[in-house]
Amino acid sequence: MSQTMSSSPLGFQQQSSAMEFQNDAVSKPISLIACIAMALLYVVTLYAPTVLLRLPPPSSFTNYMIRRFLCAVVSTTISLFLSPLILPVQTMDLPYILGVYGIRMDHMWQAMVLPLALTSLMYAGSLFLKSLLLLDFMRHHTAFDGGLSFDSFKCASTRFIDWLSAISSNVLTWRNYVVAPLTEELVFRACMIPILFCGGFKAYSAMILCPIFFSLAHLNHFMEIYVKQNYRIRKAAMIIGLQLGYTVIFGSYASFLFIRTGWICAG
């Protein structure tokens, strides 16, 4: 096919010239093998310190998570460096490569605000419930103190700052909201989707394949769940199947946002 990436389905990277190379520039088997290798690399690297390097177990859960953070960063960096060697990039200029990964400055407003508003609709129920709880807290606090005052506002601000401090010092917060989303977006979307497009896959195929690769990369959790469920394989399979199903659905949605906007932050 002589069709360029910029004219691919769903308008992938229409705003940027960073990916103007031909589809079918990489064979489909090579593109699939490359994506599978990146998924395996992401998982294997997490276990490398204890399984391959034979390092002693971390002394605490925090140190254990920090070690996994470093492993995720290492595997992500390797994938980012290998992707341009697979893709038929026109130049190794840094702005061009960043554009390939969906890291650009143009159309930032549309790529960040509109997808964020759309994604927020998926959590509208939870946000509405939290808003009701906040209003209920303010109503009880106002009734107890006899009305709003500077002291009540100061108390609420102090509690909010303490809450932010508590969650920012929680290592699981960094895993769930910083390290895991960032590294997974870079590997399973910024790297894989351009490779799949260069392999001749259509947009809808890439939207399905990337979440599948991501889900398969998390099959390693099956043994952990299997042990927690007292070695009941059926129950463990049901739990992991539900998790993988949700991952595929949400991953397809995030891939659509990346393909549609050409921005990694959109997902």
Q: What is the pLDDT of residues 209-251, one digit of tens each?
A: 999 998 888 777 777 787 777 778 888 888 888 888 888 888 8
- Structure-block tokens of residue 41: 């690399």
Find the DSSP H helices in 101-202: 108-120, 124-145, 150-168, 171-174, 180-185, 192-198
pLDDT of residue 107: 74
Instruction: Tally the C-alpha atoms within 13 A of residue 61's C-alpha that lie toward its C-beta.
Output: 4
From the number of C-beta atoms within 10 Å of its C-beta (0-12, 13-18, 19+), residue 150 rates as: exposed
Residue with tokens 């064979």: 27
Low-confidence ranges of the chain (pLDDT < 70): 1-24, 90, 137-138, 141-156, 160, 267
Pick the catalytic residue from 20, 141, 185, 218: 218
pLDDT of residue 196: 92
Positive/negative CA dihedral, 54, 59, 64, 69: negative
- Structure-block tokens of residue 226: 């299997």
Is-catalytic flag, 224?
no
Measured distance CA(58)–CA(26) in Å, rounded? 42
Pick the catalytic residue from 20, 184, 185, 224: 184
Phi, psi of 22 (to 5 degrees): -80, 145
pLDDT of residue 154: 67
pLDDT of residue 149: 59
243 contacts 225 by C-beta, under 8 angstroms: no
Distance of CA 83 to the CA centre of its chain: 18
Positive/negative CA dihedral, 149, 153, 155, 156: positive
Phi, psi of 55 (to 5 degrees): -75, 150
Is-catalytic flag, 218?
yes
pTM (predicted TM-score): 0.78
- Structure-block tokens of residue 162: 């303490």
pLDDT of residue 146: 53
Residue with tokens 């699939």: 32
